[in-house]
Amino acid sequence: MRPILTLNAGSSSLKAAVYDGVAAALVRAEVAALGAGAIMTITADGKTQRHEIASADHAHAFAALRKALGPWLGQGGPIAVGHRIVHGGAEIDGPRVLTPSCLAKLEGLVALAPLHQPHNLALVRAASQAFPQAVQIGAFDTAFHRGHDWLHDTYALPRRYFDQGIRRYGFHGLSYAYIAGRVAVDYPALADGRLIVAHLGNGASLCAIKGGRSVASSMGFSALDGLPMGTRVGQIDPGVLLYLMGEGMDQAALTRLLYSESGLKGLSGISHDMRVLLAAKSPQADAAIAYFCAHLAQGIGGLSAVLGGVDAVIFTGGIGQNAAPIRAMALEKLAFLGLVVDEGANAAHAPRIDKGKVAVLVMATDEEQMIAQAVQQALAALPDEKGPM
């Protein structure tokens, strides 16, 4: 039985895993902090090894991971490579075999996710060359959000723009799909309930889920909208952009400002990393943290209105799982919704940290497992001679 390889490219990292099914990974690996002094970690059989890579971009990271994962991939290599693709557009609602025509359409979406889509597609090309016999399959962050009510997908522009694809797409869908599945297993009484999931990391968003399906998301047409993020601006009055354009700022400068110079980094002038800001104890860091938490609370309140109430708030992602002060600060003004945090449980990062009427959960996400499931689903749909195993 040949294995499945999954690849998950972030803006500054590359994760990989090898599966012989979808229940658990044989091995997981990651190259983090791409650039000078990148670190590769490999975890298998409960043991983790770390190696420093002198200098690495996504291409170097893929080469290093391919070599490191060789013993698990075997002589025949993977039967399929599953790729996280951030943007799938309006039509893709599930996994797809990444044919040349499909890739051409995805290239047309690069401008909507410039921090991720180029790396995602470059890895498809690299994996195709490295494993020419493997089927390349995409798992899409936008797919989980297809099926929203029109009210939650449109902007108040002339209708023709919606028909042309200018609409809310939503992102972080692989993470949200995983969390919805885990809730059904670990908290079955909440499975059909009204959930608000906060995926908080360098990229951050909220998703309203009812009955295991996405109802609305804080992210919209691009991965810029909604919550403030590490270096991304989040919600902003479009009049600001018109003003900056009138002052002479071109598209390239605006893109750099909104994607790379704003968010926590811009507000604090210190760092995009929440860990650094929490440790800084400076007025600038405190102001950036307060802004982040205020908008997080505002977003949770807004989505509770969409759902007509809330039965559980779930924190995931690097900040969501590990930053107890952020969870507490964000929820402290939402007691009127029944959201009350148990300080001791929160400080201990317990799986459940509430002492009010509404469940507050802390859960690890697993995008790699969702990619592996997507691969299995796509392989099962292929003709028998190209089937999974």
Q: Where residue 345 sits, what CATH number does that domain have? A: 3.30.420.40
Position 386 confidence tier, pLDDT thresholds 50, 70, 90: very low
Residue 376 counted as domain residue: no
pTM of the model: 0.94
The answer to whether residue 22 scores a pLDDT higher than 70 is no
Both 117 and 202 in one domain: the answer is: no
pLDDT in tens, 126-177: 999 999 999 999 999 999 999 999 999 999 999 999 999 999 999 999 999 9
Say whether both 199 and 69 belong to one domain: no
Whether 203 is in a domain gets the answer: yes
Q: Tell me: do 82 and 213 sit in the same domain.
A: no
The burial of 132, by beta-carbon neighbours within 10 Å (0-12 exposed, 13-18 middle, 19 or more buried), is given as exposed
Asked if residue 121 and residue 11 are part of one domain, the reply reads: yes
> Is 330 in the same domain as 206?
yes
Domain assignment present for 293:
yes
CA 50 from centre of chain: 24
pLDDT tens digits for range 26-64? 999 999 888 777 899 999 999 999 988 877 788 999 999
Domain count, the chain: 2
Q: Answer yes or no: is 151 within a domain.
A: no
Q: How far apart are CA 63 and CA 40, in angstroms?
A: 12
Domain limits at 290? 188-362
- Mean pLDDT for 5-34 is 89
> Is 77 in contact with 131 (CB distance < 8 Å)?
yes
**Between vectors from CA 175 to CA 174 and to CA 179, what angle results, nearest 5°?**
120
- Residue 385 has a pLDDT of 42
Instruction: Identify whether residues 209 and 353 lie together within a single domain.
Output: yes
| 31 and 114 together in one domain | yes
326 within a domain of the structure (yes/no) = yes
For 163, the 3-state DSSP assignment is helix
183 within some domain: no
Backbone torsions φ then ψ of 228, nearest 5 degrees: -65, 150
If pLDDT is split at 50, 70 and 90, which confidence band does 265 have?
very high
Q: Does 306 lie in the same domain as 231?
A: yes
Tell me the pLDDT tens digit for each residue of 202-211: 999 999 999 9
| Average pLDDT over every residue of 340-367 | 97
Do 194 and 134 sit in the same domain of this protein? no
48, 120: one domain: yes
- The answer to whether residue 385 is domain-embedded is no
Q: Which of 141, 153, 311, 354 is catalytic?
A: 141
Same-domain check for residues 193 and 132: no
DSSP character string of 77-105: --SEEEEEES--TTT--S-EE--HHHHHH
User: Has 141 been annotated as catalytic?
Assistant: yes
Task: Show which of 123, 140, 157 is a domain's final residue.
Answer: 140
Q: Are 81 and 7 in contact (CB under 8 A)?
A: yes
The two three-digit tokens of residue 116, written as one number: 């991720």
Per DSSP, what are the bridge partners of residue 198? Answer: 206, 315
pLDDT score of 331 more than 70 = yes
Q: Find, among 27, 14, 13, the residue nearest to 372 by Cα.
A: 27
